[in-house]
Chain A
Protein backbone atom coordinates (compact mmCIF):
# COMPACT_ATOMS: atom_id res chain seq x y z
CA UNK A 1 0.00 0.00 0.00
CA UNK A 2 1.44 3.38 -1.00
CA UNK A 3 1.65 6.05 1.66
CA UNK A 4 0.73 9.68 0.91
CA UNK A 5 4.31 10.79 0.41
CA UNK A 6 5.05 7.68 -1.65
CA UNK A 7 2.23 8.50 -4.03
CA UNK A 8 3.45 12.11 -4.37
CA UNK A 9 6.95 10.87 -5.19
CA UNK A 10 5.56 8.47 -7.78
CA UNK A 11 3.57 11.30 -9.33
CA UNK A 12 6.69 13.50 -9.46
CA UNK A 13 8.61 10.64 -11.07
CA UNK A 14 5.93 10.20 -13.68
CA UNK A 15 5.95 13.90 -14.41
CA UNK A 16 9.73 13.96 -14.75
CA UNK A 17 9.62 10.95 -17.02
CA UNK A 18 6.98 12.61 -19.09
CA UNK A 19 8.94 15.85 -19.49
CA UNK A 20 12.06 13.82 -20.34
CA UNK A 21 10.29 12.02 -23.18
CA UNK A 22 8.12 14.99 -24.17
CA UNK A 23 8.11 15.74 -27.86
CA UNK A 24 8.13 19.23 -29.35
CA UNK A 25 7.03 20.30 -32.80
CA UNK A 26 9.03 22.87 -34.74
CA UNK A 27 7.53 24.28 -37.91
CA UNK A 28 9.60 25.72 -40.75
CA UNK A 29 8.60 28.81 -42.72
CA UNK A 30 7.27 26.46 -45.40
CA UNK A 31 4.86 24.94 -42.87
CA UNK A 32 6.68 21.64 -42.59
CA UNK A 33 6.50 20.19 -39.06
CA UNK A 34 9.49 18.52 -37.38
CA UNK A 35 8.88 16.54 -34.19
CA UNK A 36 11.91 16.44 -31.90
CA UNK A 37 12.64 15.38 -28.32
CA UNK A 38 12.58 18.12 -25.72
CA UNK A 39 16.26 17.40 -24.97
CA UNK A 40 17.06 18.11 -28.63
CA UNK A 41 14.93 21.27 -28.75
CA UNK A 42 16.56 22.55 -25.54
CA UNK A 43 19.85 22.94 -27.45
CA UNK A 44 18.26 26.16 -28.64
CA UNK A 45 18.25 28.80 -25.89
CA UNK A 46 15.36 30.54 -27.67
CA UNK A 47 13.11 27.47 -27.49
CA UNK A 48 14.40 26.51 -24.05
CA UNK A 49 13.28 29.80 -22.54
CA UNK A 50 9.89 29.55 -24.27
CA UNK A 51 9.38 26.01 -22.91
CA UNK A 52 10.48 27.02 -19.41
CA UNK A 53 8.16 30.01 -19.46
CA UNK A 54 5.31 27.57 -20.00
CA UNK A 55 4.92 28.47 -23.66
CA UNK A 56 2.78 26.64 -26.15
CA UNK A 57 4.55 23.29 -26.03
CA UNK A 58 1.49 21.46 -27.33
CA UNK A 59 0.89 23.82 -30.23
CA UNK A 60 4.50 23.68 -31.26
CA UNK A 61 6.82 26.48 -32.29
CA UNK A 62 6.57 28.14 -35.70
CA UNK A 63 9.98 29.36 -36.93
CA UNK A 64 9.23 31.97 -39.61
CA UNK A 65 12.93 32.68 -40.28
CA UNK A 66 14.06 29.12 -40.99
CA UNK A 67 13.36 27.06 -44.14
CA UNK A 68 12.84 23.29 -44.08
CA UNK A 69 16.23 22.33 -45.51
CA UNK A 70 18.06 24.46 -42.96
CA UNK A 71 15.86 23.36 -40.07
CA UNK A 72 16.41 19.67 -40.90
CA UNK A 73 20.18 20.21 -40.75
CA UNK A 74 19.99 22.21 -37.52
CA UNK A 75 17.86 19.45 -35.93
CA UNK A 76 20.46 16.88 -36.98
CA UNK A 77 22.98 18.81 -34.85
CA UNK A 78 20.56 19.26 -31.93
CA UNK A 79 19.58 15.58 -31.91
CA UNK A 80 23.20 14.53 -31.71
CA UNK A 81 24.04 16.97 -28.90
CA UNK A 82 20.72 16.81 -27.04
CA UNK A 83 19.91 13.12 -27.11
CA UNK A 84 23.39 11.71 -26.56
CA UNK A 85 25.42 11.68 -23.38
CA UNK A 86 28.80 13.38 -23.22
CA UNK A 87 30.18 12.14 -19.92
CA UNK A 88 32.92 9.72 -20.89
CA UNK A 89 36.00 10.44 -23.00
CA UNK A 90 34.66 8.13 -25.73
CA UNK A 91 31.30 9.89 -25.83
CA UNK A 92 32.96 13.29 -26.09
CA UNK A 93 35.26 11.99 -28.82
CA UNK A 94 32.24 10.69 -30.75
CA UNK A 95 30.56 14.11 -30.51
CA UNK A 96 33.76 15.87 -31.61
CA UNK A 97 33.94 13.56 -34.62
CA UNK A 98 30.31 14.26 -35.42
CA UNK A 99 31.01 18.02 -35.28
CA UNK A 100 34.04 17.64 -37.54
CA UNK A 101 32.12 15.69 -40.20
CA UNK A 102 29.09 17.94 -39.85
CA UNK A 103 31.05 21.13 -40.49
CA UNK A 104 33.16 19.60 -43.25
CA UNK A 105 29.98 18.77 -45.15
CA UNK A 106 28.55 22.26 -44.60
CA UNK A 107 31.80 23.90 -45.62
CA UNK A 108 31.42 22.38 -49.08
CA UNK A 109 28.23 24.37 -49.63
CA UNK A 110 28.96 27.90 -48.43
CA UNK A 111 25.53 29.36 -49.08
CA UNK A 112 23.97 26.61 -46.97
CA UNK A 113 26.64 27.12 -44.31
CA UNK A 114 25.49 30.73 -44.04
CA UNK A 115 21.85 29.70 -43.77
CA UNK A 116 22.72 27.34 -40.93
CA UNK A 117 24.81 30.06 -39.25
CA UNK A 118 21.87 32.47 -39.42
CA UNK A 119 19.51 29.86 -38.00
CA UNK A 120 21.95 29.00 -35.19
CA UNK A 121 22.15 32.70 -34.40
CA UNK A 122 18.38 33.15 -34.48
CA UNK A 123 17.72 30.05 -32.35
CA UNK A 124 20.69 30.75 -30.05
CA UNK A 125 22.29 27.33 -30.43
CA UNK A 126 25.63 28.20 -28.94
CA UNK A 127 27.64 25.14 -29.95
CA UNK A 128 26.44 25.17 -33.54
CA UNK A 129 26.98 28.92 -33.86
CA UNK A 130 30.55 28.60 -32.58
CA UNK A 131 31.17 25.76 -35.02
CA UNK A 132 29.90 27.60 -38.12
CA UNK A 133 31.38 31.03 -37.34
CA UNK A 134 34.76 29.42 -36.68
CA UNK A 135 34.49 27.65 -40.03
CA UNK A 136 33.81 30.94 -41.84
CA UNK A 137 36.63 32.63 -39.90
CA UNK A 138 38.99 29.85 -41.02
CA UNK A 139 38.10 30.68 -44.63
CA UNK A 140 39.19 34.29 -44.02
CA UNK A 141 42.32 33.41 -42.07
CA UNK A 142 45.64 33.81 -43.87
CA UNK A 143 44.13 35.49 -46.94
CA UNK A 144 44.92 38.88 -48.43
CA UNK A 145 42.03 41.37 -48.71
CA UNK A 146 41.86 40.60 -52.45
CA UNK A 147 41.61 36.84 -51.80
CA UNK A 148 38.90 37.43 -49.19
CA UNK A 149 36.91 39.51 -51.67
CA UNK A 150 37.16 36.71 -54.24
CA UNK A 151 36.19 34.03 -51.71
CA UNK A 152 33.12 35.96 -50.58
CA UNK A 153 32.21 37.66 -53.84
CA UNK A 154 32.49 41.11 -52.32
CA UNK A 155 32.77 44.16 -54.53
CA UNK A 156 35.70 46.46 -54.09
CA UNK A 157 34.43 49.79 -52.81
CA UNK A 158 37.39 51.38 -51.08
CA UNK A 159 38.58 54.77 -52.26
CA UNK A 160 42.20 55.69 -52.77
CA UNK A 161 42.04 57.55 -49.48
CA UNK A 162 40.87 54.43 -47.62
CA UNK A 163 43.70 52.50 -49.23
CA UNK A 164 46.20 55.06 -47.94
CA UNK A 165 44.74 54.79 -44.45
CA UNK A 166 45.00 51.02 -44.51
CA UNK A 167 48.60 51.14 -45.67
CA UNK A 168 49.33 53.57 -42.87
CA UNK A 169 47.69 51.23 -40.35
CA UNK A 170 49.54 48.22 -41.69
CA UNK A 171 52.90 49.80 -41.09
CA UNK A 172 51.93 50.28 -37.45
CA UNK A 173 50.44 46.84 -37.02
Chain B
Protein backbone atom coordinates (compact mmCIF):
# COMPACT_ATOMS: atom_id res chain seq x y z
CA UNK B 1 0.00 0.00 0.00
CA UNK B 2 2.79 2.37 0.93
CA UNK B 3 4.61 1.54 -2.25
CA UNK B 4 1.44 2.06 -4.29
CA UNK B 5 0.98 5.39 -2.54
CA UNK B 6 4.49 6.40 -3.34
CA UNK B 7 3.97 5.48 -6.95
CA UNK B 8 0.78 7.51 -7.16
CA UNK B 9 2.73 10.37 -5.82
CA UNK B 10 5.52 10.02 -8.28
CA UNK B 11 2.90 9.60 -10.95
CA UNK B 12 0.50 12.35 -10.33
CA UNK B 13 2.06 14.41 -7.59
CA UNK B 14 4.14 17.49 -7.91
CA UNK B 15 7.60 15.98 -7.58
CA UNK B 16 7.42 14.04 -10.81
CA UNK B 17 6.11 16.20 -13.59
CA UNK B 18 9.02 15.15 -15.71
CA UNK B 19 8.14 11.45 -15.31
CA UNK B 20 4.45 11.87 -15.80
CA UNK B 21 3.91 13.69 -19.00
CA UNK B 22 1.62 16.61 -18.24
CA UNK B 23 -0.09 15.76 -21.50
CA UNK B 24 -1.15 12.45 -20.04
CA UNK B 25 -2.70 14.02 -16.95
CA UNK B 26 -4.31 16.58 -19.25
CA UNK B 27 -5.86 13.69 -21.20
CA UNK B 28 -7.33 12.41 -17.93
CA UNK B 29 -8.60 15.81 -16.78
CA UNK B 30 -10.06 16.48 -20.24
CA UNK B 31 -12.55 13.70 -19.57
CA UNK B 32 -14.02 15.47 -16.55
CA UNK B 33 -17.19 17.54 -16.56
CA UNK B 34 -16.67 21.22 -15.75
CA UNK B 35 -17.61 20.97 -12.08
CA UNK B 36 -15.08 18.20 -11.39
CA UNK B 37 -12.48 20.08 -13.38
CA UNK B 38 -12.89 23.09 -11.10
CA UNK B 39 -12.34 20.74 -8.11
CA UNK B 40 -9.25 19.28 -9.79
CA UNK B 41 -7.83 22.80 -10.11
CA UNK B 42 -7.82 23.03 -6.33
CA UNK B 43 -5.82 19.84 -5.80
CA UNK B 44 -2.26 21.11 -6.13
CA UNK B 45 -0.07 23.51 -8.08
CA UNK B 46 0.87 20.89 -10.70
CA UNK B 47 -2.71 20.04 -11.56
CA UNK B 48 -3.57 23.70 -11.63
CA UNK B 49 -0.69 24.45 -13.99
CA UNK B 50 -1.66 21.57 -16.29
CA UNK B 51 -5.22 22.87 -16.44
CA UNK B 52 -3.93 26.36 -17.26
CA UNK B 53 -1.42 25.12 -19.85
CA UNK B 54 -4.03 23.14 -21.73
CA UNK B 55 -6.89 25.64 -21.14
CA UNK B 56 -9.04 22.70 -20.06
CA UNK B 57 -11.46 24.63 -17.88
CA UNK B 58 -11.78 27.39 -20.47
CA UNK B 59 -12.53 24.87 -23.18
CA UNK B 60 -15.00 22.94 -21.05
CA UNK B 61 -16.78 26.16 -20.12
CA UNK B 62 -16.96 27.13 -23.80
CA UNK B 63 -18.83 23.91 -24.56
CA UNK B 64 -21.65 24.89 -22.25
CA UNK B 65 -24.75 26.42 -23.71
CA UNK B 66 -25.02 30.17 -23.27
CA UNK B 67 -25.17 30.98 -19.62
CA UNK B 68 -28.64 31.87 -18.54
CA UNK B 69 -28.68 34.82 -16.17
CA UNK B 70 -32.41 34.99 -15.84
CA UNK B 71 -35.70 34.45 -17.41
CA UNK B 72 -38.40 36.98 -18.27
CA UNK B 73 -41.87 35.66 -18.76
CA UNK B 74 -44.23 38.09 -20.40
CA UNK B 75 -47.87 37.24 -19.96
CA UNK B 76 -50.82 38.53 -21.98
CA UNK B 77 -48.67 39.83 -24.77
CA UNK B 78 -48.86 42.42 -26.29
CA UNK B 79 -50.14 44.36 -23.27
CA UNK B 80 -47.94 47.29 -22.33
CA UNK B 81 -44.48 46.04 -21.59
CA UNK B 82 -42.78 46.95 -18.32
CA UNK B 83 -39.49 47.14 -20.21
CA UNK B 84 -38.58 50.20 -22.24
CA UNK B 85 -38.60 49.50 -25.94
CA UNK B 86 -35.27 49.63 -27.67
CA UNK B 87 -34.87 51.20 -31.04
CA UNK B 88 -32.39 48.51 -32.00
CA UNK B 89 -32.78 44.93 -30.92
CA UNK B 90 -30.21 43.90 -28.29
CA UNK B 91 -26.93 42.60 -29.77
CA UNK B 92 -27.75 38.92 -29.42
CA UNK B 93 -31.31 38.48 -28.31
CA UNK B 94 -31.85 35.04 -26.89
CA UNK B 95 -35.41 34.06 -26.42
CA UNK B 96 -38.18 31.78 -27.36
CA UNK B 97 -41.64 32.99 -28.21
CA UNK B 98 -43.73 30.19 -26.84
CA UNK B 99 -46.82 31.52 -28.57
CA UNK B 100 -45.07 30.74 -31.82
CA UNK B 101 -47.29 28.31 -33.73
CA UNK B 102 -44.14 26.30 -34.47
CA UNK B 103 -44.22 25.01 -30.92
CA UNK B 104 -47.82 23.79 -31.18
CA UNK B 105 -48.44 24.55 -27.54
CA UNK B 106 -52.09 24.48 -26.52
CA UNK B 107 -51.33 25.73 -23.06
CA UNK B 108 -47.99 27.50 -22.79
CA UNK B 109 -47.72 27.36 -19.01
CA UNK B 110 -44.29 26.87 -17.49
CA UNK B 111 -44.85 23.89 -15.21
CA UNK B 112 -41.35 23.60 -13.80
CA UNK B 113 -37.93 24.94 -14.65
CA UNK B 114 -34.42 24.00 -13.64
CA UNK B 115 -31.22 25.88 -14.45
CA UNK B 116 -32.70 27.46 -17.53
CA UNK B 117 -34.54 24.43 -18.88
CA UNK B 118 -38.33 24.71 -19.01
CA UNK B 119 -41.07 22.12 -19.02
CA UNK B 120 -44.24 23.38 -20.62
CA UNK B 121 -47.15 21.29 -21.73
CA UNK B 122 -45.19 18.16 -22.57
CA UNK B 123 -42.40 20.12 -24.20
CA UNK B 124 -38.85 20.64 -23.01
CA UNK B 125 -37.57 24.06 -24.04
CA UNK B 126 -34.11 25.51 -23.60
CA UNK B 127 -34.40 29.24 -24.35
CA UNK B 128 -30.61 29.66 -24.17
CA UNK B 129 -29.96 27.25 -27.04
CA UNK B 130 -33.40 27.66 -28.65
CA UNK B 131 -33.77 23.91 -28.66
CA UNK B 132 -37.02 22.26 -27.84
CA UNK B 133 -38.56 18.83 -28.08
CA UNK B 134 -41.89 17.20 -27.43
CA UNK B 135 -41.82 14.47 -24.78
CA UNK B 136 -43.17 11.08 -25.79
CA UNK B 137 -46.47 10.14 -24.08
CA UNK B 138 -46.11 9.20 -20.41
CA UNK B 139 -46.76 5.47 -19.92
CA UNK B 140 -49.97 4.68 -18.01
CA UNK B 141 -49.89 3.69 -14.33
CA UNK B 142 -51.12 0.16 -14.75
CA UNK B 143 -51.47 -0.80 -11.09
CA UNK B 144 -53.23 2.37 -10.00
CA UNK B 145 -56.77 3.70 -10.24
CA UNK B 146 -57.18 6.58 -12.64
CA UNK B 147 -54.68 9.23 -11.84
CA UNK B 148 -56.07 12.63 -12.41
CA UNK B 149 -53.12 14.60 -11.19
CA UNK B 150 -49.45 14.23 -11.32
CA UNK B 151 -46.51 16.32 -10.34
CA UNK B 152 -43.53 17.03 -12.55
CA UNK B 153 -39.90 17.51 -11.80
CA UNK B 154 -36.93 18.47 -13.93
CA UNK B 155 -33.25 17.71 -13.28
CA UNK B 156 -30.72 19.64 -15.34
CA UNK B 157 -27.28 21.05 -14.63
CA UNK B 158 -25.42 22.11 -17.77
CA UNK B 159 -22.13 22.34 -15.88
CA UNK B 160 -22.29 18.61 -15.16
CA UNK B 161 -23.94 17.23 -18.27
CA UNK B 162 -25.96 18.44 -21.24
CA UNK B 163 -28.51 15.75 -20.43
CA UNK B 164 -31.65 16.10 -18.31
CA UNK B 165 -34.24 13.95 -16.59
CA UNK B 166 -37.95 14.58 -16.31
CA UNK B 167 -39.78 13.04 -13.36
CA UNK B 168 -43.50 12.29 -13.46
CA UNK B 169 -44.96 11.67 -10.00
CA UNK B 170 -48.54 10.54 -9.45
CA UNK B 171 -50.63 12.12 -6.71
CA UNK B 172 -51.78 9.17 -4.66
CA UNK B 173 -54.91 9.23 -2.58
CA UNK B 174 -54.44 6.41 -0.10
CA UNK B 175 -58.07 5.41 0.49
CA UNK B 176 -58.61 5.00 -3.22
CA UNK B 177 -55.80 2.49 -3.59
CA UNK B 178 -56.64 -1.19 -3.81
CA UNK B 179 -55.80 -2.54 -0.32
CA UNK B 180 -53.99 -5.56 -1.68
CA UNK B 181 -51.34 -3.38 -3.32
CA UNK B 182 -50.59 -1.70 -0.01
CA UNK B 183 -50.24 -4.81 2.12
CA UNK B 184 -48.30 -7.18 -0.12
CA UNK B 185 -44.88 -7.10 -1.63
CA UNK B 186 -46.37 -8.64 -4.73
CA UNK B 187 -47.83 -7.25 -6.95
CA UNK B 188 -45.01 -4.71 -6.97
CA UNK B 189 -45.21 -1.34 -5.32
CA UNK B 190 -47.76 0.91 -7.00
CA UNK B 191 -45.60 3.91 -6.25
CA UNK B 192 -44.09 4.19 -9.66
CA UNK B 193 -42.19 7.18 -10.82
CA UNK B 194 -41.80 7.62 -14.53
CA UNK B 195 -38.47 9.14 -15.45
CA UNK B 196 -37.70 10.43 -18.90
CA UNK B 197 -33.98 10.52 -19.57
CA UNK B 198 -32.61 12.52 -22.48
CA UNK B 199 -29.69 10.09 -22.58
CA UNK B 200 -31.91 7.21 -23.65
CA UNK B 201 -34.80 9.27 -25.05
CA UNK B 202 -37.26 6.97 -23.28
CA UNK B 203 -39.47 6.85 -20.21
CA UNK B 204 -38.00 4.52 -17.61
CA UNK B 205 -39.81 3.19 -14.56
CA UNK B 206 -38.54 3.85 -11.07
CA UNK B 207 -40.07 2.17 -8.07
CA UNK B 208 -40.21 4.01 -4.81
Contacts from A to B (Cβ < 8 Å)? 109-111, 114, 117-118, 121, 129, 133-134, 136-137, 140-145, 148-149, 152-158, 162, 166, 169-170, 173
Contacts and interface: CB of A to CB of B under 8 A. Distances in A.
A129 B34 CA distance: 21
Given A155-B13, A162-B45, A140 B40 contact: yes
Given A117-B24, A141-B33, 5 more contacts: A141-B36, A143-B36, A145-B41, A152-B9, A157-B44
B103 interface: no
Interface in B36-72: 36, 38-45, 47-48, 61
A153 B1 CA distance: 11
Contacts of A121: 21, 24, 27
Contact of A154 (B7, B14, B36): B14
Chain B interface residue bracket vs A = 20 to 34
Contacts of B43: 145, 148-149, 152, 154
Contacts, number: 92
- The 10 tightest CB contacts between A and B, nearest first, are A145-B42, A137-B31, A111-B4, A153-B8, A111-B7, A153-B5, A133-B28, A141-B36, A166-B42, A154-B13
B48 to A, nearest CB: 7
Nearest to A149: B43
Task: Give the secondary structure class of A's interface.
Answer: helix
B32 interface: yes
Given A133-B28, A133-B31, A144 B48 contact: no
Contact of B44 (A114, A137, A158): A158
Contact of A157 (B14, B34, B38, B41): B14
Contact of A140 (B4, B7, B24, B28): B28
Contacts of B33: 141
Nearest to B39: A145
A111 to B, nearest CB: 4
A154 B28 contact: no
Contact of B8 (A110, A118, A129, A137): A110
